[in-house]
Amino acid sequence: MKPTAAEQVLADRCVLITGGARRLGAATARKLHGAGATIVVHYHRSTEAAHALVAQLNAIRPGSAHAVATDLLHSAALPGLVQATLDHYGRLDVLVNNASTFYPTPLGSITPAQFEDLVGTNLRAPLFLSQAAAPALRATQGLIINMADIHAQRPLRDHVVYSAAKAGLVMLTKSLARELGPQIRVNAIAPGPVMWPEYPMDEALKAEIVGKTALQRTGSPEDIARTALFLAADAPYVTGQVIAVDGGRGI
């Protein structure tokens, strides 16, 4: 069945999603692709997942998805990620800084390597990738979406570096909105209990977290993806904002 005009609201727009092969990144890629966008899936280690996702999207609409490998911790490589997008599709309309590293760092055991990894992925890479993408986004009156976290505002025990890095990302979002306006909008999404970490987590703790949300349930990757679609397709006067998608966990 031919897509309706509403389903193709992002037709002719190109979206670059870091960490787009799995979890929230993949859900966002599918949602924006479903709205008509062409998608560049960035990946580093998730080679098989990235190419599988691209194959799925291209099966729906041939030539509408492309995968590019880059190590985001190598800041000098980030302009190449933007250039690869431009070389393939000729434009860039939306940058989703989704890639994130997340694991415990209790204060007494934090190492310099952990600091560089967590801050590098969650803060430095979004900054320098936004810097590299700014000329292309300015040409299309584009958008940057940063994937923040409710723990940018509510520190998470034993995650000292992660919480600080996400807090920095929130301020980066607001600063970039000021720096890049009026041509480029910059916003962030702050997920709450939407997907549990990939490392083992106590079931009682999960239940406690859910019990502290106003909606008394977990969210889903689709909730995050729908928020990204709203920002990309239906929020032309929204910039510098952090939208919490947390079921009321933060209130």
pLDDT digits 0-9 by tens, 131-166:
999 999 999 999 999 999 999 988 888 999 999 999
pLDDT of residue 1: 44
Residue 147, phi then psi, degrees to nearest 5: -90, 100
Buried b (16+ CB within 10 A) or exposed e, 237-247: eebeebbbbbb
At how many degrees (to 10) do helices 125-139 and 160-180 cross? 20
Active site residue 162: yes
Report how far residue 102's alpha carbon sits from residue 114's, in angstroms, rounded to the nearest whole number: 10
The model's pTM:
0.95
Please state which CATH class domain 14-245 belongs to. Answer: alpha beta
Report how far residue 210's alpha carbon sits from residue 229's, in angstroms, rounded to the nearest whole number: 25
Do 20 and 211 contact (CB within 8 A), yes or no? no
Q: Which of 48, 33, 40, 47 is nearest to 3 (CA)?
A: 33
CB atoms within 10 A of CB 130: 23
CB atoms within 10 A of CB 42: 27
pLDDT of residue 66: 98
Enter the tokens of residue 58: 């291209």
End-to-end CA distance of the chain: 43
| Burial class of 52 by CB neighbour count within 10 A (0 to 12, 13 to 18, 19+) | middle
pLDDT of residue 86: 98
Beta bridge partners of 15: 39, 94
Q: Which of 43, 162, 199, 237 is catalytic?
A: 162
pLDDT of residue 167: 97
| Low-confidence residues in the chain, pLDDT < 50 | 1
Enter the tokens of residue 18: 């870091």
pLDDT of residue 4: 53
